[in-house]
């Protein structure tokens, strides 16, 4: 079996994405190793997000040294706060930097992965739960809507400390999800952030709400699987990760 090397570029205070995405991929039967590089960031504010993004080139060099097959720039709001379409520029620049060193590593971002997941589910109207302060949450809404997807309703839990985001209780997240107006909504993003824990909630929320439920983490894992040409069939993690479940094998 081939061992796939997965690279992550993450905020220094993020402790969730390195737990949830490996868990999903192992449930998908992927033999993998994970390699992370960290950007210093404590508070989720525009100033700290800009300072964090400025560390990207160093992190790309470090990840490139590991010879990874795919790299995920794993901070959704750091990209979406930079303005509509910025995930394309970020992914291009990382690929360009890696390519200058002779690497053909596939490059993804959490922002781009979420948008791909929504598109592949055929979502036209979505509802969101986010941990961000309201001004940043509004930028996330505007970013998604600039991609042609209507954000019908959303909740911002307004937690600025990124370490605290990683400790938000599941019942608080579910309470926010239950308060959403889901009229004519096609899907719910239970955690529009790779630091807010949600993997254990996704399937239960989908069953309760009667709609496809995904998160930044499940969308990231989905895009990694697709980029590696691997099957997407992870039971108990929402509709997005059951994309190939109905495809017969021979």
Rounded to whole angstroms, how far apart are CA atoms 190 and 197? 9
Q: Is 157 helix (H, G, I), strand (E, B) or coil?
A: coil
Q: Give the mean model confidence (pLDDT) for residues 62-89.
A: 92
Per-position b or e across 215-247, b if 16+ CB within 10 A of its CB: bbbbbbbbbbbbbbebebbbeebbbbbbbeeee
Picking from 89-103, 138-152, 200-214, which range would have the lowest pLDDT averaged per residue?
A: 89-103
Do the domains 4-112+218-242 and 113-216 sit in the same CATH topology, yes or no? Answer: yes
Which range has highest mean pLDDT (44-53, 134-143, 240-249)? 134-143
Q: Quick check: 198 and 215 in contact, CB under 8 A?
A: yes
pLDDT higher than threshold 90 for residue 50 = no
- The answer as to CATH 3.40.640.10 being correct for domain 4-112+218-242 is no
Q: Quick check: 240 and 117 in contact, CB under 8 A?
A: yes
pLDDT higher than threshold 90 for residue 48 = no
Based on the residue annotation, tell me whether 193 is a catalytic residue of this protein: yes
pLDDT higher than threshold 80 for residue 39 = yes
pLDDT class for 250, splitting at 50, 70, 90? Answer: very low
pLDDT higher than threshold 80 for residue 134 = yes
pLDDT at position 1, please? 65
* CATH class (in words) of the domain with range 113-216: alpha beta
Whether residue 195 is annotated as binding a ligand: the answer is yes
pLDDT at position 204, please? 96
pLDDT at position 236, please? 93
Whether residue 53 is annotated as binding a ligand: the answer is no
Percent of the chain clearing pLDDT 70 (strictly above): 98
Work out the burial of residue 165: count CB atoms within 10 Å of its CB; fewer than 13 is exposed, 13-18 middle, 19 or more buried: buried
Rounded to whole angstroms, how far apart are CA atoms 30 and 70? 13
Q: Give the mean model confidence (pLDDT) for residues 1-10.
A: 90
Whether residue 14 is annotated as binding a ligand: the answer is yes
Based on the residue annotation, tell me whether 167 is a catalytic residue of this protein: no
Candidates 32, 94, 37; CA nearest to 69 is 32
Rounded to whole angstroms, how far apart are CA atoms 109 and 88? 9
Domain ranges in the chain? Answer: 4-112+218-242, 113-216
Whether residue 75 is annotated as binding a ligand: the answer is yes
Rounded to whole angstroms, how far apart are CA atoms 196 and 210? 22
Q: Give the mean model confidence (pLDDT) for residues 169-176.
A: 97
DSSP E strands, 51-201: 70-73, 106-109, 125-130, 150-156, 187-191
Q: From the candidates 59, 75, 167, 192, which is the catalytic residue? A: 75
pLDDT class for 53, splitting at 50, 70, 90? Answer: confident
pLDDT at position 52, please? 83
Q: Quick check: 86 and 50 in contact, CB under 8 A?
A: no
Average pLDDT, the chain: 92
Rounded to whole angstroms, how far apart are CA atoms 158 and 160? 6
């Amino acid at each position: 079996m081939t061992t796939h090397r997965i690279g992550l570029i993450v905020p220094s205070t993020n402790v969730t994405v390195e737990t949830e995405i490996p868990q999903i991929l192992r449930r998908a039967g992927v033999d993998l190793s994970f390699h992370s590089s960290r950007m210093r960031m404590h508070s989720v504010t525009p100033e700290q997000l800009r300072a964090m993004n400025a560390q990207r080139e160093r992190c790309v060099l470090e990840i490139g040294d590991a010879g990874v097959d795919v790299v995920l720039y794993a901070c959704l709001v750091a990209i979406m706060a930079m303005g509509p379409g910025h995930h394309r520029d970020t992914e291009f620049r990382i690929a360009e930097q890696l390519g200058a060193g002779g690497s053909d590593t596939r490059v993804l971002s959490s922002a781009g992965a979420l948008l791909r997941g929504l598109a592949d589910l055929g979502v036209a109207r979505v509802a969101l739960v986010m941990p961000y302060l309201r001004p940043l949450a509004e930028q996330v809404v505007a970013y998604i809507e600039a991609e042609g997807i209507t954000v019908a309703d959303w909740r911002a839990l307004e937690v600025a400390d990124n370490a605290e985001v990683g400790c938000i209780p599941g019942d608080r997240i579910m309470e926010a999800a239950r308060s959403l107006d889901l009229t004519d909504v096609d899907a719910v993003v239970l955690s529009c952030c790779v630091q807010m824990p949600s993997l254990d909630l996704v399937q239960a929320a989908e069953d309760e709400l009667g709609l496809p439920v995904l998160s930044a983490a499940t969308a990231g894992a989905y895009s990694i699987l697709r980029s590696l040409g691997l099957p997407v069939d992870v039971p108990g993690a929402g509709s997005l990760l059951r994309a190939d479940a109905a495809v017969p094998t021979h």
